[in-house]
Amino acid sequence: MSFFTPLIFVSSVISTSFPKSFRIDINMSATLDIQALPIELFNKILDYVSDDRANGQESIKNCRLVSRHFNNVASTLLIPWISVCLTVESFARLEHVYSHPIFSRNVSHVTIILNFYEAELANCRPLFMKEARSRLLRHTETMERMPRYKSKFYWTRELHDWLSHMAWDDCPKLNQLIEEDNAESPPARIQKLFLKLYEIYKRRFDDQENLRRDNAHIDRLVTALSSLPGLSSLRFEDYNSNRAIVTSNTQRGSDRLLAADFEDSGYDEKVLRHFDRAVRPSPWCGWFETHQTVSPPVEMLGELCSRLGSNSVKIKHFGLSLYPPPNLLVLETSPTQQENIKRLVSLASNMRLHIDPYDNGHNYSKQQLLAVCSLTVPFTSAPNLETLEVNFGVSSGLISPVSLVDVLPPNFVWPRLQHLTLRNVNVKPVERRELVARHSSCKLDLY
C-alpha cells in the first residue's frame, strides 16, 4: 500500500469506518509521526484492505476509503510554502492552490517575488540588445572569477572565447543590432538568437502588463491570500542577480531557453544556457542599462500590503528584501496605507526589513529617505515583536540624512522583544541610550 509510506506529520482526526464489524478513531497530536502508530493497528487496517477475491468490490471500496482518509490528512502538509511572481502561469498556480479544498489548508508561507519585466527594455529593441550584451559580459566575468559558477554550465575554451568576444563589443553582427537596430537579410545566426531573445522578453512583458491592467493582479492576490486559513508568514523578495550566483537552475520563473524556440539559429540548450540572463526579470533597482530610469511595479508593495490589512489578513512573520529604484519617492505610502499595514502586522512576532541601495551612486535627499521610512515605520509598529531586523545594506549613503527616530515608530516599546538588529541605521548617542534603557534584557546588534 504505497499510501502508507512516510506521511510526514499528521495533525488531524482520522475517522475510518468499515461496514458492520470495524471502526477506527485516531486522535493524533501535532507532534506524532504516523510511523509511531502501533504495528498492530496497521495490520488491522491492512486486513480490511486485503484482496478479498470472494468480495472484490467491497475490498476495493474499503481500500479506497482508507486511502482517501490518509490522503486527506497528509495532503494538507504537502504544500506549506508557495511563491508567486508577476506571470500568468504563477498566478494561475496560486489560484489553483488556494481554491483547492485540501491543498489550501496548510499553506502557511507565501513569498511574493517582486522582480519584473521592464518597459524600457521591452519597448526599445536596441536598448534590449545592449542590455543583453551587458548581462552576457557579467556572466562571462563571473565564470572567470568563480569556478563554482562556471561548473554549472557547459564550458569549453573555444566557447568561452566566443562569448567573451561577443560580450566585449567584438561582434560586428551583434553591434549592428545595437547601433543600427537592423539585421542582415537574412539575419546571421547570432542575430537570429538575439532577435528571438527580444521576442521572448517582449512577449513576457506584454503578458505581465495584461496581468497588471486596472490593478487586477492586486485584486487577485488579495483574494488568494485572504483565502488561505493557515497563512502566517509573508515575504517580499526582490532578487538581484548581480549580488548572487543565479543560474537557470535556481532562478525563479521560466528562464530556461529551449532549443525548440531557437531552431533557426541552430544553437543547442547547452549553449543557450549562457544567454538565459537576457530574458530574466529585473530587480527594482534596474539592470546595467536601466538603473537610472527603472519603473518598478510599486503597487506590489505598499498597495498590496494595505489591501491585505484592510481585508483583515494578519500575519506573524514578515520579511522584505528590496533593492530600491533611483527615485525613492515612488515607495512612499499614504497615511491610510500605513494604518492598514499596521493592521496586517498587528500580530507579527518576527520582522525583517532589508532595503539595500546597492552601489547605484545616488545621493538621496532626506525627503526621499523619509519615503522609505513611510514603509519601515508602519511595519515596525507591530506591538508583539520578538525579533526585529532593519538592514539598510552596505551603503551608508542611504541612511545618513535620517536617524532612528525616522526609521522606527515614535516612542517605540516592544515588551516581548528578544533580539534587535540595526544595520547601517544612523543611531545618535542619545537614541542609543534610550534604546538600551527600554530594552535592557534584549540582545542588541548595532552595525
Contact 288, 134 (CB under 8 A): yes
pLDDT band at 38 (very low <50, low <70, confident <90, very high): low
- 386 closest CA partner among 416, 430, 355, 343: 416
Contact 399, 368 (CB under 8 A): no
pLDDT band at 249 (very low <50, low <70, confident <90, very high): very low
pLDDT band at 322 (very low <50, low <70, confident <90, very high): very high
* Average pLDDT score over the chain: 84
Residues of the chain within CATH 3.80.10 domain(s) are: 81-116+214-243+289-446
Distance CA 73, CA 78 (A): 10
What does the buried/exposed string (b/e) look like for 50-84 if buried means 16 or more CB atoms within 10 Å of the residue's CB? eeeeeeeeebeebbebbeebbeebbbbeebeebbb
| pLDDT, mean of residues 285-313 | 95
> How far apart, in Å, are the Cα atoms of 439 and each of 109, 335, 416?
30, 28, 9
> How far apart, in Å, are the Cα atoms of 355 and each of 266, 361, 372, 391, 422?
43, 15, 9, 6, 12
Contact 226, 311 (CB under 8 A): yes
pLDDT of residue 82: 93
Calculate ∠ Cα 216-217-221, nearest 5°.
120
pLDDT of residue 354: 94
Give the count of alpha carbons within 13 A of 279, CB side only. Answer: 24
Lowest mean pLDDT among 16-30, 66-80, 359-373: 16-30
pLDDT > 70: percent of the chain: 77
Give the count of alpha carbons within 13 A of 53, CB side only. Answer: 0
Given a cut of 90, whether residue 220 has pLDDT beyond it is yes
pLDDT of residue 360: 58
pLDDT of residue 64: 72
Report, in angstroms and rounded to the nearest whole number, the Rg of the chain calculated over CA atoms. 27
Given a cut of 50, whether residue 156 has pLDDT beyond it is yes
Q: Which residue has the higher pLDDT, 363 or 18?
A: 363
Given a cut of 70, whether residue 314 has pLDDT beyond it is yes
> How far apart, in Å, are the Cα atoms of 222 and each of 10, 226, 241, 313, 351?
29, 6, 28, 9, 21
Given a cut of 80, whether residue 39 has pLDDT beyond it is no
Q: Which residues are within 8 A (CB) of 262 and not within 5 positions of it... i.e. 6 or more apart?
A: 192, 193, 196, 272
CATH number for region 81-116+214-243+289-446: 3.80.10
| pLDDT, mean of residues 104-123 | 94
Given a cut of 50, whether residue 16 has pLDDT beyond it is no
- 322 closest CA partner among 365, 283, 282, 281: 283
Given a cut of 60, whether residue 69 has pLDDT beyond it is yes
Contact 380, 391 (CB under 8 A): no
Structure confidence by residue, pLDDT tens digits, 172-186: 999 999 999 988 889
pLDDT band at 106 (very low <50, low <70, confident <90, very high): confident
C-alpha cell at 261: 524556440
CA–chain centroid gap for 414, Å, is 29
pTM: 0.80
Given a cut of 60, whether residue 283 has pLDDT beyond it is yes
Contact 321, 389 (CB under 8 A): no
pLDDT of residue 42: 62
Distance CA 249, CA 122 (A): 24
Given a cut of 90, whether residue 398 has pLDDT beyond it is no
| pLDDT, mean of residues 330-358 | 94
Given a cut of 50, whether residue 150 has pLDDT beyond it is yes
pLDDT band at 366 (very low <50, low <70, confident <90, very high): confident
| pLDDT, mean of residues 403-413 | 88
Structure confidence by residue, pLDDT tens digits, 223-240: 999 999 999 999 999 988
pLDDT band at 17 (very low <50, low <70, confident <90, very high): very low
Given a cut of 90, whether residue 133 has pLDDT beyond it is yes
